[in-house]
């Protein structure tokens, strides 16, 4: 009887960890030995470190920038050190497979796995593959995609190693209760509820825009505001019908269940969760940084399919913010109709089966 061993990697943002958490919970039920390679201080350590059964290993990481900066020079050496550390870790652990969700922290683990002849599987959460996954794909046996159209961005050779699985999302979000959420927030049931979420680390732009327009929005909506860890302070007002949180854990499903419409960044994991729950969206993708292209394309994809409206950050003013929220509310029934027709694929089971199949081939090779 083999003890199946797997290394997960991915980080830099919650979106590059969440799907791994879902897969890890399932594999722990099957008694797998699970290791995670990430950075020393990244969000992946905060999230994975809470799981006692998972062995977390920190390696040196460097940021993959698309522009010139002096830090690029030192980061090259950090990445080289991280690859060496990951190689030695994997040599000792001897996993059957490495599963990567991307982000710059994943590159050393992917390269270390390949150099140890450990098969690598990648999940690309965005419509357009990020830089880390484009670099990692050459070392991977297969890349799973969240969007059906992602394969069009790959070369013909790379597309042969690409398989569409759909969004890996938390099905338990469907168990949220609108009534429990309203009771928790001390809201009333006969006024619409607006949910504003700026991503796992919060968005200063969205936070400031909400505070600027809050008096006007409260004339029509009750508001749930997830402002980001460390960003809730005494400057946030205390109004009836307005609740602000840094981050929500146990009550999140209930809060999401009671939302009538949503304002969100356009990270793949978040928008697919809102799609699962049939919540009309106003998407405001990042205007800069490494996630800009991915979030912009994600948002455009959802808008074209009638699930959302898009407001570019460079066009964000109090007037455009209020107007687009109102348009989403007016169009909510139409958007929900499109969402119902979208269908959902059981991506979790598909990815787990691919992992099991890969490990079975490794086990057969060990027996020969």
Can you read off the two tokens belonging to residue 37? 């390679």
Q: How many angstroms from the chain centroid is the CA of residue 19?
A: 7
**Long-range contacts of residues 25-29, Cβ cutoff 8 Å, at least 24 apart:** 26/348, 26/352, 27/352, 27/355, 28/53, 28/54
Predicted local confidence at residue 368, as pLDDT: 61
Domains and CATH numbers, the chain: 5-166+345-367 (3.40.50.2000), 174-340 (3.40.50.2000)
Predicted local confidence at residue 275, as pLDDT: 94
**Terminal-to-terminal C-alpha distance of the chain:** 15
**Quick one: average pLDDT of 87-106?**
94
Residues with Cβ within 8 Å of 304's Cβ and at least 6 positions away in sequence, in order, are: none
- Confidence grade of residue 84 (pLDDT, cut at 50, 70, 90): very high
Predicted local confidence at residue 346, as pLDDT: 83
Q: H helices within the chain, ranges in order?
A: 18-29, 43-48, 71-93, 106-115, 131-136, 156-159, 178-185, 204-217, 252-258, 268-276, 292-304, 318-330, 332-340, 347-367
Pick the closest to residue 103 from 289, 267, 290 (CA basis): 290
- Give the residue, 52 or 345, on which the prediction is more confident: 52
Residues with Cβ within 8 Å of 232's Cβ and at least 6 positions away in sequence, in order, are: 244, 245, 246
Put the strands of the sheet holding 142-145 in their side by side order.
Answer: 54-58, 33-38, 5-9, 97-100, 120-124, 142-145, 162-164
For 48, other C-beta atoms within 10 Å of its C-beta total 23
The answer to whether 126 and 148 have CB atoms below 8 angstroms apart is no
- Give the residue, 28 or 149, on which the prediction is more confident: 28
Predicted local confidence at residue 286, as pLDDT: 84
Question: What distance in Å separates the CA atoms of residue 107 and residue 76, rounded to the nearest whole number?
Answer: 12
Question: What distance in Å separates the CA atoms of residue 183 and residue 177, rounded to the nearest whole number?
Answer: 10
- Confidence grade of residue 70 (pLDDT, cut at 50, 70, 90): low
Pick the closest to residue 255 from 342, 198, 193, 190 (CA basis): 193
Predicted local confidence at residue 220, as pLDDT: 96
CA–CA–CA angle 138, 142, 148 (5° rounding): 110
Question: What distance in Å separates the CA atoms of residue 284 and residue 263, rounded to the nearest whole number?
Answer: 7
For 153, other C-beta atoms within 10 Å of its C-beta total 18
- Give the residue, 257 or 73, on which the prediction is more confident: 257
pLDDT digits (tens, 9 = 90+) for 29-46: 999 999 999 999 888 999
pLDDT at 131 over 90: no
Question: What distance in Å separates the CA atoms of residue 250 and residue 229, rounded to the nearest whole number?
Answer: 16
């Amino acid at each position: 009887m083999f003890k199946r061993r797997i290394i997960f990697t991915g980080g830099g943002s919650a979106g590059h960890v969440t799907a791994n958490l879902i897969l890890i919970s399932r594999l722990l039920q099957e008694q797998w030995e699970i290791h995670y390679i990430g950075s020393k201080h990244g969000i992946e350590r905060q999230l994975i470190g809470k799981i006692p059964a998972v062995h977390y290993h920190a390696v040196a990481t460097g940021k993959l920038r698309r522009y010139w900066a002096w830090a690029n020079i030192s980061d090259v050496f950090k990445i080289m050190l991280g690859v060496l550390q990951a190689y030695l870790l994997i040599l000792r652990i001897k996993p059957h497979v490495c599963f990567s969700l991307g982000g710059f922290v994943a590159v050393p683990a992917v390269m270390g796995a390949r150099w140890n002849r450990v098969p690598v599987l990648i999940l690309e959460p965005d419509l357009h593959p990020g830089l880390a996954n484009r670099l990692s794909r050459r070392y991977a046996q297969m890349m799973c995609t969240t969007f059906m159209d992602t394969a069009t961005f790959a070369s013909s050779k790379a597309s042969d190693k690409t398989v569409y699985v759909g969004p890996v999302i938390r099905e338990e979000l469907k168990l949220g209760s609108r009534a429990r959420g309203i009771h928790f927030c001390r809201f009333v049931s006969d006024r619409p509820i607006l949910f504003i979420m700026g991503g796992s680390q919060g968005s200063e732009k969205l936070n400031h825009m909400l505070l600027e327009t809050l008096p006007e929005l409260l004339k029509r909506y009750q508001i749930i505001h997830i402002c980001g860890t460390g960003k809730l302070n005494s400057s946030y007002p205390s109004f009836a019908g307005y609740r602000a949180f840094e981050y929500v854990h146990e009550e999140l499903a209930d809060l999401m269940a009671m939302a009538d419409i949503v304002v969100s960044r356009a990270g793949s994991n978040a928008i697919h969760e809102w799609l699962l729950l049939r919540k009309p969206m106003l998407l405001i993708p990042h205007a800069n940084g490494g996630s800009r292209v991915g979030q912009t394309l994600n948002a455009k994809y959802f808008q074209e399919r009638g699930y959302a409206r898009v407001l570019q950050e460079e066009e964000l003013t109090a007037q455009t913010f209020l107007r687009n929220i109102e348009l989403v509310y007016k169009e909510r029934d139409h958007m929900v109709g499109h969402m119902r027709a979208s269908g959902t694929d059981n991506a979790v089971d598909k990815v787990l089966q691919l992992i099991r199949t890969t490990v079975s081939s490794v086990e057969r090779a060990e027996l020969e």
